[in-house]
Amino acid sequence: PPGAVLVMDSRKDARAASAGAILVTRLMKRGVAGVITDGGFRDSAEIAKLGFPAFHHRPSAPTNLTLHQAIEINGPIGCGDAPVFPGDVILGDSDGVIVIPAHLADEIANEAFEMTAFEDFVTEQVNAGRSILGLYPATDEQALVDFAEWRKATGR
């Protein structure tokens, strides 16, 4: 359905052609939020041009042996080394994909927000020439004082 993420278990076999450009385009047109497989995609260059969140292990060779039939919908599966349950939060970027259990999503989102603010502060400090010693990680109390002042000044 619209807003959902299709997660496919290909048994971590990158040779498995989990989808190609036509299937991924159809998912995109249906309003799906993204598609993930621990197998491979055919047409990976074409899929990359769609501007649609699509994550796979590596491109797979074209084959006519791929079956596009769901064994189960909204059931628990494994993808990569992660268990995935209906309702889990999926987050992917160019560094990879993570699965966040639904019951932990708010807690992890809050921690990630705080860590992002701190890392933005650290990045500014390092770009200004500050050493990371005592700053990252913040083992020097002054780093925490400076961070608190930075947050107040920036509204973050």
Tell me the per-residue pLDDT of 96-126, one tens digit each, with 9 for 90 and over: 899 999 999 999 999 999 999 999 999 999 9
Joined together, the tokens standing for residue 98 give: 């993570």
Beta strands in the chain, from DSSP E residues, in sequence order: 5-8, 17-19, 34-37, 40-41, 54-55, 58-59, 77-79, 82-84, 89-93, 96-100
Average the pLDDT over 76-83 and give the result: 90
Q: What is the pLDDT of residues 27-77, one digit of tens each?
A: 999 999 999 999 889 899 999 999 999 999 887 766 555 555 667 788 999
Region class of 95: left (phi > 0), else alpha (psi between -120 and 50), else beta:
alpha
Whether the upstream peptide bond of residue 53 has omega within 30° of 0, thus cis, is: no
User: What domains appear along the chain, each with residue ranges and CATH number?
Assistant: 5-100 (3.50.30.40), 106-154 (no CATH)
Joined together, the tokens standing for residue 39 give: 């197998």
Sign (positive/negative) of CA torsion 125, 143, 148, 110?
positive
Q: What is the pLDDT of residues 3-33, one digit of tens each?
A: 999 999 888 887 778 889 999 999 999 999 9
pTM: 0.73
Residue 1: pLDDT over 60 = yes
